[in-house]
Amino acid sequence: MLSSPDLAYCLTAGALNTLFPMHCILDDEGRIVQAGSTLSKVMRRAVVGEALFDLFEIKRPRSLHSLADLQSYTGPKFVLRAVFEAEHPLEFRCVATAMEAGGKTLLIDFAFSADFLDLFSLLQLNASDFKPNDPSLDLIYTIETQRTLVEDSQKLTLALERSRKEAEHAANIDLLTGIANRRFLSSYLRQEPAPIISRCGGFLLHLDLNKFKSINDTSGHSAGDAVLQHTARILDEAAGETGFAARLGGDEFVLLVRGYTSRAAIESLSIGICQRISEPIAHGGHVLQVSTLLSMAVLLLINCSASLTSHSTKQNAAGKTSSSWIKRCFTTITSAKRSSNRSKTGCSWANSFRSFNQRLIRGQTAYPAWKS
């Protein structure tokens, strides 16, 4: 029964449960004699017959310590905490009112604290667990809608980023051989000059395949593709972890290798590449064999030091941009290749190794000596 100075009203248990699905009624000894359906569900145990202070402890205000304190504290808000929920502590904002004027029987209405959104999923609550006009439902739906939109937006962003990377990868890879293409080589050399210059030792090798056209004409394009793939695998292995191989188009390849500081090491690697490429390949009942034409630009091969790196930086600051040394590099390679085609003479390694701070990159051809 709810009372006022002039009127008294009787509410059934069902009516109380509709209006206050998270309520309990305490007798004058502090035992729960009636509880709302949602409160029982949230507590995950039967609460009727239990003493209030066996289930909850008063967190605020600190002046409340006993049932007598609570019976005299009708009207203002106080906070109760479930004593048995250690992993997921349940806190409730509560308000108590006397069932009868001057009586000791209390009606306590419970409401979730600020973390009710997490508890909503944890306790598997639904709309029927709240009173019909509870604004918490609208807030939950709004937040869940926003969360879904954010998740969808993140998924879309990740998908777009993945598609962008896949497209960029496809644009930088030669589809036939799986190694880098001309676009990647050009972009890499323009964007990453410092790591190339600052490392001790390295060279840029340009490679043409001889007799490739005749293989295409006599054995078919599938045979030519097999030769290109065979060459790409060899160059990719030779590039190691710090370099890379690229196909410029047709039967032209470029290999960037770093970590070589001596003529003997470069000769050994280059001869090994030529010998492996020149090995016969069995394909479709045919034996395929090509030879190679190599042109080379040697980059910063010896005397790499801090002072050298500093000097190179000064040169760039003075106007030697990253593209300038790249152009000189390819110009040197092209000149060496043309010279080799004209002279058909042996390879001279004399004066091939010049430090970068001397502002000179030499190109050499190995065509006559290394042709298989």
pLDDT value, residue 180: 92
Section 294-309 average pLDDT: 43
What percent of the chain is modeled with pLDDT above 90?
26
pLDDT value, residue 5: 56
- Amino acid letter for position 85: E
pLDDT band (50, 70, 90) for residue 305: very low
pLDDT value, residue 140: 79
CATH domain 2-134 topology: Beta-Lactamase (3.30.450)
Q: Higher model confidence: residue 55 or residue 89?
A: 55
The structure tokens listed for 285 are: 């009942």
pLDDT value, residue 294: 67
168 pLDDT higher than 70: yes
pLDDT value, residue 296: 60
The answer to which of 22-26, 188-192, 353-357 has the lowest mean pLDDT is 353-357
pLDDT value, residue 343: 37
Q: Which CATH superfamily is domain 180-370 in?
A: Reverse transcriptase/Diguanylate cyclase domain (3.30.70.270)
Cis omega (within 30 of 0) for bond into 21: no
pTM of the model: 0.48
Q: Higher model confidence: residue 191 or residue 310?
A: 191
Section 321-326 average pLDDT: 46
pLDDT band (50, 70, 90) for residue 49: very high
DSSP percent split of the chain into helix, strand, coil, nearest 5: 45, 20, 35
| Residue 25 contacts residue 48 (beta carbons within 8 Å) | no
155 pLDDT higher than 60: yes
326 pLDDT higher than 70: no
Cis omega (within 30 of 0) for bond into 61: yes
| pLDDT tens digits, one per residue of 10-45 | 888 888 888 999 999 999 999 999 999 899 888 888
Q: Report the chain's mean pLDDT, rounded to a whole number.
A: 75
Report the C-alpha gap between 31 and 24 in whole angstroms.
Answer: 10
pLDDT band (50, 70, 90) for residue 227: very high
Greatest mean pLDDT among 37-46, 145-154, 312-321, 344-353 lies in 145-154
Residue that has been written with the tokens 């969808």 in this structure: 152
267 pLDDT higher than 50: yes
Q: Higher model confidence: residue 347 or residue 93?
A: 93
pLDDT value, residue 363: 33
pLDDT value, residue 135: 81
Report the C-alpha gap between 97 and 334 in whole angstroms.
Answer: 96
| pLDDT tens digits, one per residue of 228-242 | 999 999 999 998 887
Distance spanning both ends of the chain, measured CA to CA: 108
The answer to which of 62-66, 188-192, 303-307, 341-345 has the lowest mean pLDDT is 303-307
Q: Higher model confidence: residue 340 or residue 26?
A: 26
What percent of the chain is modeled with pLDDT above 70?
72
152 pLDDT higher than 90: yes
pLDDT value, residue 297: 56
- The kind and range of the H/E element at 245 are strand 244-249
Section 339-352 average pLDDT: 37
352 pLDDT higher than 50: no
Task: For the chain, give every domain's residue range.
Answer: 2-134, 136-172, 180-370
pLDDT band (50, 70, 90) for residue 114: low
| Residue 57 contacts residue 31 (beta carbons within 8 Å) | no
**DSSP-derived secondary structure letter, 293:** E
Question: Residue 201, SS3?
Answer: coil
pLDDT value, residue 360: 28
pLDDT value, residue 235: 93
